[in-house]
């Protein structure tokens, strides 16, 4: 379980048969490819935890996927997750069964070409065997408070990475 959730339980919080967590994610890239970052907000029982990461050379799609993977990996036990993302790439791959089709075709897409970002899709697939995840598409850069916050965190992480590394 995420550390803050563990602390809630240690303070006497009730352990539910299955815990429901809301996760909000976003990725950002300065150039595509370029310096990129991801951000996630985990929300449970009135508590929130923000996660961020950045890398020097990546793509926006990799950062969108990384946000989802890192957020799910932060959960320390199986949870029911409502995952909100503005990435059609991520949400459609799950909700339109692209991921299942890629696996069935030995990680080839409909054009019989290798699936882009296969390493990340495989990591996400592992997390989907642990958690019960519902993917929900939100409109990016709109009025969704948590999506906007994730965008701010990711953009700031890109900026900080570039400053720290003289890029």
Which member of 26, 36, 70, 131 is catalytic? 26
26 included as an active-site residue: yes
22 included as an active-site residue: no
7 included as an active-site residue: no
User: How many Å apart are CA 138 and CA 142, to the nearest integer?
Assistant: 9
Which member of 27, 36, 70, 131 is catalytic? 27
48 included as an active-site residue: no
57 included as an active-site residue: no
165 included as an active-site residue: no
3-state secondary structure the chain: CCHHHHHHHHCCCCCCCCEEEEEEEEEEEEECCEEEEEEEEEEECCEEEEEEEEEEEECHHHHHHHHHHHHHHCCCCCEEEEEEECCHHHHHHHHCCHHHHHHHCCCECCCCCECCCHHHHHHHHHHHCCCEEEEEECCCCCCCHHHHHHHHHHHHHHHHHHHHCCC
Which member of 6, 57, 141, 165 is catalytic? 141
Which member of 36, 70, 86, 131 is catalytic? 86
Strand order in the sheet with 79-85: 47-58, 34-44, 19-31, 79-85, 132-137
Q: Which residues are catalytic?
A: 26-27, 64, 86, 141, 151
């Amino acid at each position: 379980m995420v550390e803050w959730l563990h602390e809630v339980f240690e303070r006497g919080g009730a352990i539910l048969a299955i815990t429901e967590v809301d996760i909000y994610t976003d990725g950002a890239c300065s150039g595509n490819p370029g310096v990129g970052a991801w951000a996630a907000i985990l929300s449970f029982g009135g508590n929130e935890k923000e996660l961020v990461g950045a890398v020097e050379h990546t793509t926006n799609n990799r950062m969108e996927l990384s946000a989802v993977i890192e957020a799910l990996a932060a959960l320390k036990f199986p949870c029911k997750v409502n995952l909100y993302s503005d990435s059609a790439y991520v949400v459609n791959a799950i909700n339109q069964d692209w991921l299942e089709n890629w696996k069935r075709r030995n990680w080839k897409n409909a054009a019989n070409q290798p699936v882009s970002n296969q390493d990340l899709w495989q990591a996400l697939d592992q997390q989907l065997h642990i958690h019960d995840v519902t993917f929900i598409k939100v409109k990016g850069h709109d009025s969704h408070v948590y999506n906007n916050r994730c965008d701010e965190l990711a953009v700031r992480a890109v900026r900080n990475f570039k400053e720290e590394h003289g890029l």
